[in-house]
Amino acid sequence: MNKSILIAALAAAVAMPIGAKDRVTHNPDVTNTDAILHVWSWNFPTIAENMKRISDAGFTMIQTSPVQECYNPKGSSKKIFDEDVTEGNWYYYYQPTAWKIGNQIVGSRDQMKVMMDSAAKYDIRVIVDVLPNHTAFDVDAVSEDFVKAVGGRDKLYHSQGLNPVKDYNDRYQCTLWGSGALPDVNTENPDFQKYYMEFVNDLLSLGVGGFRYDTAKHIGVHSDPVDTASGVKENDFWDVATGRKAVKGVRLAVPYDDLFVYGEILQDRNVPEAEYADYMGQTASSYGHILREVLDKGNAKGVDLVSWYHQAAPEYLTTWVESHDTYANAHESAHLTDEQIRTAWVFLTARQNGVPLFFSRPMNSTRKAYWGDNLLGARGNDEFFHPEVAAVNKFRQAMKGQKEDIQISENGELLMVNRGKKGAAIVNISGIENFIDLPTGLPNGTYYDEVYGKEFKVKKGRLTGIAAPHRTYIIKKK
């Protein structure tokens, strides 16, 4: 790091952002009730057509794929993934060419408006996946209007923005070089900030209720190195994006606290999680990894499933069993069966905190054919409205105000989330039938689960019954 960058970084580090919100101190009385459906690669008409089904399944929010103009080679909008790279790839919409609403995958601005009207009808909050950090690999595909708006091509990227990151734990490289080799936008350029905020405000004018910030950890906070070579004086993108300051007369159009915003801040060494928490919620990626390891083993014995493994308070974490990246990018989670994912979803969603996100896998996908029907824009498979998924989503809302108590059987194959004295979620993560005998706060009596009508008994603070392989049960106090 050169001397000017080091001095600027140290100076910025002593000043905390004005208006910061405490997202680090946990309030044990808070209970989260929302659940997000990630309608990955669905287009706007498909989302609108399925809004009632989404609502009936107990989801309160949806997260769309990126909606800005993106890389669009001829014939590229057909398949989710094409090894020959001729009929499309899901990651094209993660390669912006301009920040204007509408692309070949999700649809037009007018189609988005129809989808937003449908969401409002069913009281579903819409979160849009936004990605101000980078552009398409092909810099010549970037819109000339966009280049002009930011002051020219030399103002578009950080001074080292075309260099691919080699060490993601080096914050200089992480925030100022190209992540995934994608050209790194100069997010501190006021002209870019103005241009980007006009896009955000257009989304808000359609009724969008929040954002997922892609590659958020690659956009610097105040303690990070400053790109002085590009004329940058401070890392103020997040101050602008969250409405703390205006840029060239443009400011976030709605109160920031009215929005649901979280950043894709994948956990690793040297990530300033506490500082990002001043601005937004974050992803609990380490917890998701631990959950998947438990699923692989079919056993949680000796595993701490209570801790969230994060510096931020759990009420501000977005959680998942799998994400689109773990499924589609590295296929880290793609081998897990739908049943396995479902069991972990029930456990995760029954918990008191975190806001869980359910990734919608492609229609007719299998553990050998991950892409299924392989059609961009089409609805995902039926798992998002499986009765067990819907039951726990609704259980989550019904348990508002009830604190959690997590129990794991001695053999590690049964998990139970008690919620005060009002309910419990029972999860068998193994492939064999198990007898359950665990502590609960439910009153003495006989209970029948919400989905299968399976009988469980509570006597003297212990819940007993039989749990089928890879099966979950939701029981509530009558």
List the chain pLDDT tens, one digit each, 478 residues.
443 333 333 333 334 445 678 999 999 999 999 999 999 999 999 999 999 999 999 999 999 999 999 999 887 789 999 988 889 889 999 999 999 999 999 999 999 999 999 999 999 999 999 999 999 999 999 999 999 999 999 999 999 999 999 999 999 999 999 999 999 999 999 999 999 999 999 999 999 999 999 999 999 999 999 999 999 999 999 999 999 999 999 999 999 999 999 999 999 999 999 999 999 999 999 999 999 999 999 999 999 999 999 999 999 999 999 999 999 998 999 999 999 999 999 999 999 999 999 999 999 999 999 999 999 999 999 999 999 999 999 999 999 999 999 999 999 999 999 999 999 999 999 999 999 999 999 999 999 999 999 999 999 999 999 999 999 999 999 8
At 386, the amino acid letter reads: H
CA-based end-to-end distance of the chain: 63
Buried b (16+ CB within 10 A) or exposed e, 29-53: eebbebbbbbbbbbbbbbbbebbeb
Token pair, residue 122, equals: 């069913």
Residue carrying structure tokens 């400011």? 251
pLDDT at 18: 55
Token pair, residue 330, equals: 């590295």
Angle (CA) 54 59 371, round 5°: 60
According to DSSP H, which parts of 298-366 are helical? 324, 338-350
At 225, the amino acid letter reads: P
The overall longest dimension of the chain from CA atoms, in Å, is 73
pLDDT at 396: 98
For residues 438 and 458, the answer to whether their CB atoms sit within 8 Å is no
Angle (CA) 395 401 404, round 5°: 70
Token pair, residue 84, equals: 């020959």
Q: Measured between alpha carbons, how far is residue 145 from residues 18, 192, 376 in Å?
A: 33, 12, 28
Which domains are delineated in the chain?
Answer: 3-401 (3.20.20.80), 402-478 (2.60.40.1180)
pLDDT at 7: 36
For residues 423 and 463, the answer to whether their CB atoms sit within 8 Å is no
For residue 289, give every residue at least 6 positions away whose Cβ sits within 8 Å of its Cβ, in sequence order, or none.
none
pLDDT at 336: 98
What whole-number distance in Å separates Cα of residue 182 and Cα of residue 95?
A: 8
Buried b (16+ CB within 10 A) or exposed e, 381-397: bebbbbebbbbbbbbbe
What whole-number distance in Å separates Cα of residue 70 and Cα of residue 134?
A: 11
For residues 308 and 317, the answer to whether their CB atoms sit within 8 Å is yes
Instruction: Give φ, ψ of 320 to 5 degrees.
Output: -160, 160
For residue 307, give every residue at least 6 positions away whose Cβ sits within 8 Å of its Cβ, in sequence order, or none.
none
For residue 213, give every residue at least 6 positions away whose Cβ sits within 8 Å of its Cβ, in sequence order, or none.
130, 131, 132, 219, 241, 261, 262, 263, 264, 280
According to DSSP H, which parts of 277-424 are helical? 285-297, 324, 338-350, 387-398
Instruction: Give φ, ψ of 204 to 5 degrees.
Output: -65, -35
Of 353, 283, 348, nearest in space to 321 by CA: 348
pLDDT at 13: 39
Buried b (16+ CB within 10 A) or exposed e, 77-116: bebbbbeeeebbbbbbbbbbbbbbbbbbbbbeeebbbebb
Helix axes 285-297, 338-350, angle to 10 degrees: 130
What whole-number distance in Å separates Cα of residue 385 and Cα of residue 398?
A: 18
What ranges make up the beta strands (E) of 314-461? Answer: 317-320, 355-359, 404-408, 414-419, 423-428, 434-439, 445-448, 455-459
Give 3-state DSSP helix, strand, coil % of the chain, rounded to 5: 30, 20, 45
Active site residues: 214, 264
